[in-house]
Copies of this chain bind each other. A is one copy, B any other.
Amino acid sequence: MAIRSGELSAVEHVEEALKRLDGDQHNAVVQLLADEARREARERADELARGTWRGPLHGVAVAVKDLIDVAGVPTRCGSNVRRDVPPAPADAPVVARLRAAGAVVVAKTHTHEFAYGATGDVAAEGPARNPHDPTRITGGSSSGSAAVVAAGHVPLALGTDTGGSVRTPAAHCGVVGLLPGFGRLPTDGVFPLSETCDHVGLLAADVDTAATGYQVLSGATGHSMQRDEVRGAVIGLPTGAYWRARDPVITAAVESAARRLADAGAVLVEVDTPGVDGMPDVYGSIVCAEAYTTHAADLATRPEAFQPIIARRILANADLPASEYVDALRARRRLAAQWRRRLSTVDAVLAPTTPIRATPLGVDEVDGVRVGAALLSLTLPFNLARLPAVSIPVPPADGGLPVGVQVAGVRFDEPALLRLAAALVVP
């Protein structure tokens, strides 16, 4: 908006982003694309001077997770396995769409190695650090994209989400994270973690920016954040121990979010989520089988190029029988169908994004809870059920680390879900 009006020039905006990213203290940036970004910023500024405005992302600096191809830049996936890969020959379609809409790609961002982890602290480049407390993890695997948005370097970044890799770091870093419905955005040019579960998603400074980004990426039209999506909306609150957060501040945040929705006219109902306890195992079998298949050749010839914990984790699945994987795919289809039937009377579901907040770097277990598994436990059910979801930061009652709550769309599609999310934002 400021760029269109001339109040802020694209050149100044991009220059400021580059300066901030260059001085980043969170190990969030793995490649700064300064020359190309400056050239594009000048082109966008010249276009605007000639009266050409490509839309709300015209001249806006965006960052891209280093799992997604940007033309001319190697896609290293946080791994020494890919230290010497040639530059990507072309933009991934999602990057091409952002660029066509005027966005300026300023940096590739940190990822948990091959996106195979939810903590953001295992990568060839070392751990990403949480802008709210650099001794703590960012969450992952879209660690750098969450951190550069949280640090205020850029308003928007691309991430990927297979079981929670956009929403988890969004919650930990206090930004908005969008998981679109499965298949809504193309994953070509994105290094796969699990091709039957991968999504491209967005990390954004606010809901409106996320909505704009999704509109550009999906080609959806008629986006308007004005419409009231809350009054009369039916919001499901999942029952059962599975959904209970470990951190009481997170529980309080979900309750306050529910109250905000009720006060705005939404109808809250309890819903049960059949089979949710078995979902982590189903998810594990699917992702493990697909990831092992992708990396088998490199693990056989140069296992030392992987981070040791990632190599161990992938190799643990070398002997998975096909029937276990086929069973997991069938369970996913069955559960997704079951959820759609059971939840068919609600517009959206409200739940915590993660059961715990950002843990200290190097700590694998907190109060008997395995951090890596816990961080995906509340996000992966929506991936398996093939529902879109948005994580929104909600102010923590103790004034401490960020807390995320998520809404997942059943009858609501992404634009409606984002309008609902907007109602959760505490001004």
Contact = CB atoms under 8 A, between A and B. Distances in A.
A326 interface: yes
A130 to B, nearest CB: 35
A283 interface: no
A320 B296 CA distance: 16
A289 to B, nearest CB: 4
Q: How many copies of this kind of chain does the complex include?
A: 2
Contacts of A321: 318-322
Interface string A104-127: 000000000000000000000000
A24 interface: no
B292 A323 contact: yes
Interface string A293-308: 1001000000000000
A378 to B, nearest CB: 27
Interface residues of A, number: 18
Interface of A: 195, 289-290, 292-293, 296, 317-327, 330
Given A296-B323, A320-B322, A323-B318, A330 B195 contact: yes
Contact of A327 (B293, B317, B318, B323): B293
A195 B333 CA distance: 11
A322 B318 CA distance: 8
Contacts of A289: 322-323, 325-326
Between A195, A289, A322, the greatest number of chain B beta carbons within 10 A of the residue's beta carbon is seen for: A322
Contacts of A330: 195, 293
Nearest to A295: B323
B323 A326 contact: no
Nearest to A328: B322
A317 B330 CA distance: 18
A295 to B, nearest CB: 10
Between A292, A319, A321, the greatest number of chain B beta carbons within 10 A of the residue's beta carbon is seen for: A321
25 contacts: A195-B330, A289-B322, A289-B323, A289-B325, A289-B326, A290-B326, A292-B322, A292-B323, A293-B322, A293-B323, A293-B326, A293-B327, A293-B330, A296-B323, A318-B321, A318-B323, A319-B321, A320-B322, A320-B323, A321-B321, A321-B322, A322-B322, A322-B325, A325-B325, A325-B326
